[in-house]
Amino acid sequence: MAMFLYDLSTTGAISFSDFINDPSSLYTRRLSEATQLRSRLRGILKETKRIDGEKDYVTIIKVIDDYLPHLQSVMDCVAHKELELKAEPVFSWRTTLSSSSLNVSPKISLQSLNADNACSLLTCAFAHANLARTIVGNLGPYEYDRAISQVEREAKEEQLKHATSHLCQASGIFTYLSETILPQLQTSASTSKFKLPSDLLPEVSTALSRMSLAEAQTIAIRKLLSKSFYDSNIAPGPPLPKSHPAPGLIAKLHLECVSLYSTARTLAKTPSASSKSSEDVSPELRHYLADETALNSALAKKWLGIDAGENGGQKRGGDAVGFLIWAKKELQEIKDGGKGAGLAKGDKERKDRNLRKEKVARELETIDIWLKHYKKINDTIHFQPIPSQAELQSRIPTGVSAVFVTRYVPQKPAFGPDSDARMQKEQEMSGQGDSMPSSSTYAGAGEYY
């Protein structure tokens, strides 16, 4: 299966001491640490950009996780006036999702510490999603390997669980951004009269959350079908192996993917129409969402047809044929690459396009087997009329979720008024009686080196 690959951003160099004044001189070392950690983030992103092969997304996530508590600490200290801004800080980042006339990721300058926080979190979510893609890509089509042992197959299924976990974490970060960070950034942008890139719009981040959850669900479906695909890959088609999950359940899982991908595409389609953004979301992402919506729609109808044929009895013989004909029609419409045909710019994109075409071709072969089987039964035994698409549409159920967003909880600040060290120090001092000065009466309390 092909998953969307985010082209990670890069960022410019900054030094916190250049735009922050430390009146009490208590945070000199901490500001230096924050600068060093951000420099490390900049370095790993630039290094990743130069690598042609597999990239180290685990290290990127770790570096961002190390940096964010220090950035949050600086923000807290500024808010509590323990640190002062000499001037509004400006951070430069290259966009990941915004398209431009030159078809390159534009570099943008963003004001405020919160903007750097948003871009760092966004990059972390992209890294989680790309890591999931790498894990899945390294597994290959193991379900169709007749020589694979049960131990090897179960180990690969465990890797699918890890990939699903990373996508659910990405979805949680995107949700946190859209609900907490980006509305604040949007408000400050409107007062300063500059436009945010589409990457930093709440609705686009919500779209990415839905998309990540949909990709996690497709992996969950693959894991659910793994054993049965192995059991039937010599002779795909009827009857279903005993290890096969209920086809009606598989259909509902795909229908939920359709809902998630479709909602994501709607949210990401035209963000700049509201004049909130300076660029549109890249065509590659929008076409990917359209392709995945169409593919999952076809697969849902395939499994609805099989469910009607296997579990519907004599009265649903026509439904089985009708759904499979509909699924075949939709797959034939996307077999040449779908909406994104012709957009592949590199080897990786062309490989993804080929993987999709191979999957569609394999599904068409399987549908032909099932359709021939049910058509023969209906023509000779059931004699049920084939419903129209409108009739079949009324019989499509709602989708169900197999995966859920992993709620993102920001790490505690490394220092400053809201850090554990400060709170512990305040508790200790408040317990020593009124003879001790209150820790809240002076800046840098709890920060001793």
Residue stretches of the chain with pLDDT short of 50:
100-102, 273-275, 278, 341-344, 433-449
What total number of domains does the chain contain? 1
Q: Which of 380, 147, 362 is nearest to 237 (CA)?
A: 362
Q: Is 413 contained in some domain? A: no
Question: Residue 273: its pLDDT value, please?
Answer: 45
Q: Is 284 contained in some domain? A: yes
Exposed, middle or buried: residue 102 (CB in 10 Å: 0-12, 13-18, 19+)?
Answer: exposed
Question: Residue 315: its pLDDT value, please?
Answer: 87
Question: Residue 146: its pLDDT value, please?
Answer: 86
Q: Which of 179, 256, 251, 248 is nearest to 216 (CA)?
A: 256
Question: Residue 433: its pLDDT value, please?
Answer: 46
Torsion of CA 238, 242, 248, 253, to 10 degrees: -110
Exposed, middle or buried: residue 52 (CB in 10 Å: 0-12, 13-18, 19+)?
Answer: exposed
Question: Residue 427: its pLDDT value, please?
Answer: 72
Q: What is the CATH number of the domain that holds 273?
A: 1.25.40.280
Q: Which structural domain, as residue segments, surrounds residue 248?
A: 16-393
- pLDDT tens digits, one per residue of 18-41: 999 999 999 999 999 999 999 999
Buried-state track 283-303, b at ≥16 Cβ within 10 A, e below 16: ebbbbbbbbbbbbbbbbbbbb
Between CA 189 and CA 131 the distance in angstroms is: 32
Q: Is 3 contained in some domain? A: no
Q: Is 137 contained in some domain? A: yes
Between CA 231 and CA 28 the distance in angstroms is: 64
Question: Residue 271: its pLDDT value, please?
Answer: 58
Q: Is 440 contained in some domain? A: no
